[in-house]
Amino acid sequence: MNRVYNFSAGPAVLPEEVLREAAEEMLDYKGSGMSVMEMSHRSKVYDNIIKTAEADLRELMNIPDNYKVLFLQGGASQQFAMIPMNLMKNKKAAYIVTGQWAKKAYQEAQLYGEAVKVASSEDETFSYIPDCSDLDIPEDADYVYICENNTIYGTKYKELPNTKGHTLVADVSSCFLSEPVDVTKYGIIYGGVQKNIGPAGVVIVIIREDLITEDTLPGTPTMLKYKTHADAESLYNTPPAYGIYVCGKVFQWIKKMGGLEVMKQRNEEKAKILYDFLDQSKLFQGTVKKEDRSLMNVPFVTGDKELDAKFVKEAEAAGFVNLKGHRSVGGMRASIYNAMPKEGVEKLAAFMKKFEEEN
C-alpha cells in the first residue's frame, strides 16, 4: 500500500485512523453481522450511529439547544436553492460575493426573489475579502449570505460581516470544524462534508429553530423544506447513511485530538509553514491578500504557466498529488484540511524549496 500526500480541495484527505476503523468494521459492524451500508436506517444500531454523530458534533461546536442539526443530501449546491426557498419571506436577501461558490448561491437566489449583491471582490479575481463593517443592507432583507472560506481562491473571513441585525447564513464547506465558532452568531451554518469532514454525499445544516417554518415559498418540494427534515430528525427518507457514519468517526477523531481549539492550532501551524515559505520565495508567490489568507486552501503561482505545470508534474511523481490550481485561478493550490498531517506540509515546503533551487 502506498498512501500519497493528497492536497485535493475536495473530496479530500480523511484521517487514516478513521479509514482503518471503517475498513475493520466493513463486513461486521460491532457484531451486527453486516456492514453499515447494508443496515436499515430505522434499525436500533443505525439510530445509535446517527444520534452519536449529532451529539458529538454538538459537543465539538458547542451548538446551543435552539439549533437543529440536519444531515441532508444534494451537496452544498442544493442549499443555494433551499436557503431562499425557506428563508425568503420578504423575497429579498443580501449576498456578499467573494468567489465562485458565493456567486453561484447569489445567482440561484435570483430565481426565488431579489438577491442584492452588497459587496464583492470580483474586481480583483476574488483575492481578498471586502470590508463588511458597514454595508448597505436592505432593511427588509431576510438574511445576509456569505461563503466563509473561499475554497477556490484561498480567502477566509477573519471577522464576520456586520449584518446590522439580519440573520447570517454561511457556507462553511471548506472550513467546517477547522477552528472554534460561535454558532449563536449565525442563523444557518452549512457545508458539504467532502472537504473537511467526510465522504461526499452528506451536507450538514445547523439551523436556528425559529428559521424552520411551514412558511416556505409556494411550490417548495417537501424534500427541500427544512421543517421536513427537522421534524423527522434527518430520517424523513433514507439518509446518506454510510457517509454520516464516517462523519461520526471523524467527529470522534477530532474529539480525541483535543477538539476545535487544537484543530485551529494545528491548522495555523501547518498554514504558517507554507505561507512563511511563500513569503520568502523568489519563485513562488501566494495569490491572495495576506490578511485574508485561508488556513485550509493555499493557492500559489510561479508566474510562468509552463513552470507551474512542471511543478505539478514533478510534485505528483514525488507523492504530492492534486496540487493543480482551480482552472479559474491557474497555478497551484494546496488544500491542507484537518486530516493533512503536519509532516505532509513540511515535506511539501521542502519539495518546493528544492524545486526553486533547481529551476
Ligand X SMILES: *Cc1c(COP(=O)(O)O)cnc(C)c1O
Q: Is 243 in the site for ligand X (CB under 6 A)?
A: no
Site for ligand X in 10-39 (CB under 6 A): 10
Cβ atoms of residues 84 and 106 within 8 Å: no
Q: Is 101 in the site for ligand X (CB under 6 A)?
A: yes
Residue number, 161 or 311, with CB nearest to ligand X: 161
Instruction: Pick from 8, 121, 155, 173 the residue near ligand X by CB under 6 A.
Output: 173
Look at phi and psi of residue 23 and say left if phi exceeds 0, alpha if psi is from -120 to 50, else beta: alpha
Q: Give the binding-site size for ligand X (rule: CB under 6 A).
A: 12
Q: Is 116 in the site for ligand X (CB under 6 A)?
A: no
Instruction: Pick from 56, 171, 179, 292 the residue near ligand X by CB under 6 A.
Output: 171
Residue number, 32 or 77, with CB nearest to ligand X: 77
Closest approach of ligand X to the CB of residue 43, in Å: 27
Instruction: Pick from 6, 8, 155, 174 the residue near ligand X by CB under 6 A.
Output: 174
Q: Is 239 in the site for ligand X (CB under 6 A)?
A: no
Cβ atoms of residues 60 and 255 within 8 Å: yes
**Options 68, 195, 225, 227, the catalytic residue:** 195
Q: Which residues fall within 8 angstroms of residue 158, CB to CB, at 6 or more apart?
A: 129, 291, 292
Strands 332-335 and 297-301 turn out to be antiparallel
**Options 92, 101, 227, 292, the catalytic residue:** 101
CA 193, chain centre distance (Å): 6
CA dihedral sign of residues 276, 281, 287, 288: positive
Residue 195 a catalytic site member: yes
Q: Is 75 in the site for ligand X (CB under 6 A)?
A: yes
Cross-sheet strand order for the sheet of 297-301: 285-286, 297-301, 332-335
Residue 123 a catalytic site member: no
Q: Is 76 in the site for ligand X (CB under 6 A)?
A: yes
Residue number, 9 or 349, with CB nearest to ligand X: 9
Q: What is the largest CA-CA distance in the chain?
A: 63
Closest approach of ligand X to the CB of residue 33, in Å: 33
Give the chain's length.
Answer: 359
Cβ atoms of residues 188 and 207 within 8 Å: yes
Q: Is 195 in the site for ligand X (CB under 6 A)?
A: yes
Instruction: Pick from 192, 199, 248, 331 the residue near ligand X by CB under 6 A.
Output: 192
Q: How far apart are CA 138 and CA 135, in angstroms?
A: 9
Q: How far apart are CA 97 and CA 35, in angstroms?
A: 43
Closest approach of ligand X to the CB of residue 44, in Å: 30
DSSP 3-state of 66: coil
How many Cβ atoms from other residues are within 10 Å of residue 161's Cβ?
24
Residue number, 113 or 240, with CB nearest to ligand X: 240
Q: Is 77 in the site for ligand X (CB under 6 A)?
A: yes
Residue number, 196 or 252, with CB nearest to ligand X: 196
Q: Which stretch binds ligand X (CB under 6 A): 31-39, 60-68, 166-174, 226-234?
A: 166-174
Q: How far apart are CA 320 and CA 42, in angstroms?
A: 42
CA angle 157, 201, 216 (to 5 degrees): 70
**Options 142, 171, 292, 308, the catalytic residue:** 171
Residue number, 156 or 349, with CB nearest to ligand X: 156
Residue 253 a catalytic site member: no
Cβ atoms of residues 324 and 333 within 8 Å: yes
* Active-site residue list: 101, 171, 195
Residue numbers at the binding site for ligand X (CB under 6 A):
10, 75-77, 101, 147, 151, 171, 173-174, 192, 195
